Structure 1
Amino acid sequence: MDPTSVSERENVTLICRTKCTLDPITAYSWYKNGQPIPNSNTSSPVYSLFSVSSEDTGRYSCAVEGHEDLPSAEETLTVTYGPRNTSVSVSPSGEIMEGSSVTLTCSSESNPPVDKYTWYKKNVTSSKASGQSYSITNIISEDRGEYYCEAENTIASNNSTALMIIIAEKQTSVLTAAVGIIVVVLGVILASCLSGFMWFRKKASKSTFDTRHTADDGQGDSSAVYVNISGMAMTPAAAQTVATFDQEQDEDVQPTVEQAAEEDPSVLYSTVNKPRTKKT
């Protein structure tokens, strides 16, 4: 059998030869990689393969029917083809943190093997790098985008599909966490302030109510003056003066003083009335 090396999609003819004298009606059997090829028994020493592909690559042999134990030597059929099934893988996978490194790897099937790899970034005319692997160190936000590779051998070339590189900005992540912490802290402080303010307002409102209540009680006579003399030592003359004023006070003031005294029994109130000018 004649050895053959062909390109993909070509037609191939295998011929079985022997030095023995054979019967004109001798049949032949064909084998691939040591296994019989189905429906390959023929009375002709010729076996044809049409539009070969990479699946037809292998070791072929033949034998004369009835002497299958004496097959021919194996000959290799080689089918060459350009790169195909080209793809890109990335390590590490997933979202890439800004400042870290990433490696892209190009894979492709071809015969003969790929002898040139070229890297491109989508929407950028010039190539980024060459070689089966492409590494980006200290990656930044400008490196995000779609990357693909071109695989090439002596027959043809083939591009992979584009792979998207997503980059997470480190500063954004830290800032987001910091803002979250600040919001929580401010919320706690604000809640504490509001609680203290409401308590203060409540206390202040009560004091204001007491003051207004006492003041309202004295509106019956705007000329009345209240003096807190609790705990003060009084001389006999001062006591006499107070007694004199008490005798001269109007009847409409007395309930007011008494009501004020009821507010706080521990405080002694004295009312001083301004002398009234007699009308002529």
Structure 2
Amino acid sequence: MRISSLLQCVQGHNCWRVTYTKRRICVLKGSTVDISCSYTHPTSYIEQGSFWFTQKHPVDVRSYPESAGRVEYNRNTENHHTMTITHLTEKDSAEYKFRIITTDEGRFSGLPGVMLTVTDILLEMDPTSVSEGERVTLRCRTQCTVGLNPTYIWYKNGQSLTNPVTSYNSLILDPVSSEDAGNYSCAVEGLERILSPEETLTVRYGPKNTSVSVSPSGEIVEGSSVTLTCSSDANPPVDKYTWYQKNVTSPKASGQSYSITNIISEDRGEYYCEAQNGRGSMNSTALMIIVAGKQISVLTAAVGIIVVVLVLILCLSGLMWFRKKNSTSTSNTRDTADDGQGDSSPVYDNISNMAMTSTAAQTESTDDQDDVHYASVHFSHSKNQEVPLYSTVQLHQPQKQDQDVQYAAVKFNLPSSATQPAAAQAAEVDASEIYSTVNKPRAKKT
């Protein structure tokens, strides 16, 4: 015998009846739901079993392959039944009905059943891309109302927002700024572990925080090279970089990096860059480039100092030697001059009368003899070279004259070849000896 719940009960308690706690239930995907009911049957029938089903033909949901391990029954009190479903999915959305089985083939299903809706929590953003300063609204949405007056929690980049501006299920950002950009999600209070899929908020803005960096860092010297790099935060990204030098009207270069090679002193100054995109432009703060002179290593400087000192010592030594030499040369010149004056007199002077005696008689007799004089005359050259000159002077007997003849050879001092002209040198050879004839008168005999 099949009895429908629509039939009227006789005497109120002696009839077939199923009463559900809720007729509609909305739950979030991944959560757990309890579906409960209370029931009665005629006392003449003895209950033999009960179960929940969803299909047209009543089959226990616990036998469904997709429900295996996720459905449990619980009888807390008599005539009260609860079904628990865990890890809900959207496929679990259906109408669940409770069925009683009794003796005497008693069958009764509580119709209509409980409508279960499993929904995903969704986040809607309007608009999805905004410019800085505009308004944006984010809405946390479900296909059905989850609970009574639920409270929503908002997250940005996985962190809950503190003191957000909300209106029921909406988050309002007005005006929106570049700091508001990020990934947003929402959840229902009490079900915080179930988050909506993330939505990305994109905020367009012009260049910000534009700055210049230099590489390599440290002191910049002449002849070296540096690279300036421009950085800026912008959305959309910067599409044009321009380099300027302060107080110079024309741009220096374009591009995110600017290299200065073989730096000279004229390159010193303040440099800055301009960043541009579709939302605007911004100049960086100026970077001062100071160009120092070429550096000389300590070793090079020490070597240079040592070389200079050695050169000075050599110069001083040479100067002292030169002065000493000049002093010695002057002294020698003076001595040579003195020697030259002394050499003008004969070095050797041996003049004798061959027939001279110490007596008066001899003197008279020797007057008739030839007088012979020997003389050695020596003159010095300017280089202290001694060229001795020997001369023999002999007094010959006059043949037809009454006088003696004296021959003399005389040589004079000549300057050195280094100081006299070539013609004078030739004259020295040709005229180094002078011969002269000297007639010596003889004394008359008495």
**What is the percentage of aligned positions where both structures have the same residue?**
61
CA RMSD in angstroms, aligned pairs only: 4.1
Q: Deviations over 1:150-180 (max 9, x none)?
A: 001111111112233444677x98xx98xx6
What is the distance in 2 between the residues matched to 1:45 and 1:91? Answer: 52
Q: TM-score, normalised by structure 1?
A: 0.59
Higher-RCO chain (CA-CA 8 Å, sequence separation at least 6): 1
Q: TM-score, normalised by structure 2?
A: 0.40
Greater CA drift, 66-75 or 5-14: 5-14
Aligned to 1:45: 169
Q: Deviations over 1:26-77 (max 9, x none)?
A: 2111111223223459782122335443332211111112222332221111
Aligned to 1:196: 321
Contact 2:212 2:229 in 1 (8 A): yes
Say whether residues 1:187 and 2:309 are aligned partners: no
Contact 2:165 2:172 in 1 (8 A): no
Aligned to 2:64: none
Q: Identify the match of residue 228 of structure 2 among 104, 108, 116.
A: 104
Richer in strand (by share): 2
Query: Helix, strand or coil for the counterpart of 1:157?
Result: strand
What is the distance in 2 between the residues matched to 1:162 and 1:119? Answer: 11
Contact 1:84 1:110 in 2 (8 A): yes
Richer in helix (by share): 1
What is the distance in 1 between the residues matched to 2:165 and 2:149? Answer: 12
Contact 2:245 2:251 in 1 (8 A): yes
Query: Helix, strand or coil for the counterpart of 1:189?
Result: helix
- 1:251-262 paired onto structure 2 within 5 Å: none
Aligned to 1:2: 124
Query: Helix, strand or coil for the counterpart of 1:110?
Result: strand
Query: Helix, strand or coil for the counterpart of 2:230?
Result: strand
Say whether residues 1:74 and 2:195 are aligned partners: no
Contact 2:207 2:233 in 1 (8 A): yes
Partner letter of residue 144 of structure 2?
C
Structure 1 or 2, whichever has the larger Rg, is: 2
Query: Helix, strand or coil for the counterpart of 1:2?
Result: strand
Q: Identify the match of residue 247 of structure 2 among 101, 123, 128.
A: 123
Greater CA drift, 127-136 or 188-197: 188-197
Structure 2 stretches lacking a partner, 5+ long: 1-122, 336-340, 353-446
Closer, same or farther in 2 for the Cα pair 1:138/1:77, shift >3 Å? same
Contact 1:54 1:80 in 2 (8 A): yes
What is the distance in 2 between the residues matched to 1:136 and 1:95? Answer: 11
What is the distance in 2 between the residues matched to 1:33 and 1:25? Answer: 26
Say whether residues 1:163 and 2:163 are aligned partners: no
Partner letter of residue 222 of structure 2?
M
What is the distance in 1 between the residues matched to 2:193 and 2:248? Answer: 63
Contact 1:28 1:41 in 2 (8 A): no
What is the distance in 1 between the residues matched to 2:222 and 2:210? Answer: 27
Partner letter of residue 205 of structure 2?
Y
Query: Helix, strand or coil for the counterpart of 2:141?
Result: coil
What is the distance in 1 between the residues matched to 2:259 and 2:247? Answer: 19
Aligned to 2:153: 29
Say whether residues 1:95 and 2:228 are aligned partners: no
Greater CA drift, 187-196 or 68-77: 187-196
Partner letter of residue 133 of structure 1?
S
Say whether residues 1:134 and 2:246 are aligned partners: no
Q: Deviations over 1:231-250 (max 9, x none)?
A: x667598xxxxxxxxxxxxx
Partner letter of residue 164 of structure 1?
M
Aligned to 1:15: 139
Number of residues of Structure 1 aligned to a counterpart in Structure 2: 215
Say whether residues 1:83 and 2:213 are aligned partners: no
Deviation at 1:113, TM superposition (A): 0.6
Closer, same or farther in 2 for the Cα pair 1:92/1:62, shift >3 Å? closer
Partner letter of residue 91 of structure 1?
S
Aligned to 1:277: none
Aligned to 1:61: 185
Deviation at 1:101, TM superposition (A): 4.5
Aligned to 2:92: none
What is the distance in 2 between the residues matched to 1:158 and 1:106? Answer: 11
What is the distance in 2 between the residues matched to 1:27 and 1:86? Answer: 42
Contact 2:184 2:199 in 1 (8 A): yes
